[in-house]
Chains A and B, each alone.
Chain A
């Protein structure tokens, strides 16, 4: 019994757990509230849809959270989604086999990630500016891939079978009764969760976000860690691009517009500090779920798009405001203690 209590206490004490659990509680409250207004929210099909559509926010959220934990930001994520949707679609339309198309697109995304990492890590550009630049570049590439046109009908050359397999794998297919999209994002989520909490690279990601100078002096390779992190975030964005491409059956030049900000929102709602050094991906999970539940729920109760945006905006600010208030209270306590 005592041991169990200790375990529970330990669990609570993990840094960032408080914020993550708060976000989960918020999620449950919101979900139940919507369900009471419209019971359809509780229906099995809606839950499945909810899980599927939150997947892209979850992936982008994980991507942005990793970068935010290093104390940086990646504004190019949304453009990367569009770029990879366009590249993968265009490759398939021109007859490149699905697997190869996926592989090439991933490499393109990784190239952008390395570029971001070099600009921020090695050349010390402010991350906001560096990734603002790559944001425009990536979107520009999305436009140029097919001469300023969306790429329609991805199955046209490969035949229906291949295109179907792609769409099934990334969007329409189910495994164990749940859409593949959710499984993909869940697997990646677990992989990144593991990476951040259990590996050396993960430790370094937190460390450089907390104090770059101290990390450098401790022998952490800051440039490499930064580049790695941007590669991780790019890979996530590319996969979201696949998902959107599979969903629509085409490549859309505007796909993923604003997603980088959705990623920030998901992370921040879940307690990831945009200043770096702290936050749990568990929180990001809750954040992405809150985001999607709000969108879904407001939709189901028939709220206008405008209202949806306003509510979401308020929630983001409230989540951080709460954190700031709690933190400043804590700080005063600590200050009192240490001056004593």
Chain B
């Protein structure tokens, strides 16, 4: 394979020097099938006495070759499912999507979008009918833009013959939570653990705390909504 390619290059260099004028270059021949150089034509060309120039023309080094781009896999996209505890409003399932960009081997940027639903407060249950929130106000959605740090990269070993890359990481970020009819500026943070069964798939376990102010019950207070989720993502 490599030999024939070099031969083709040498041949083409010789042709280019021997044959003056390049006006016929590529004239309507683009659709012709590629052909393989036979040893016979090899000898014929190399033995051409019409050319006084050296057979190897240094110009050939400057040819333009379109090299294949290296496949860069710095992005990671995935989904997760878990449990979100909404302060005063029970715990519920949370679903989310995640997009990450790995800046270096230590740091990554992460955007997450999640959705859950609030339950009923103890007060609402005890009082019977006094609902604090309407049905649509119980929808809970959030997004977060975070910076992550792979604090403890490593490998895990399963049995004698299997080792998988892993990392324990911390994330901290800003974002917004839409709950009880309003968007609320939210600071989130937490940690996670990532295992790569292959080079391009990652399994995540994450714990996050979402912190925001809410004045639903009159006084403003800070709430902490804890979330734990399992996720799957792929690198691309």
Judge: A and B partners, yes or no: no
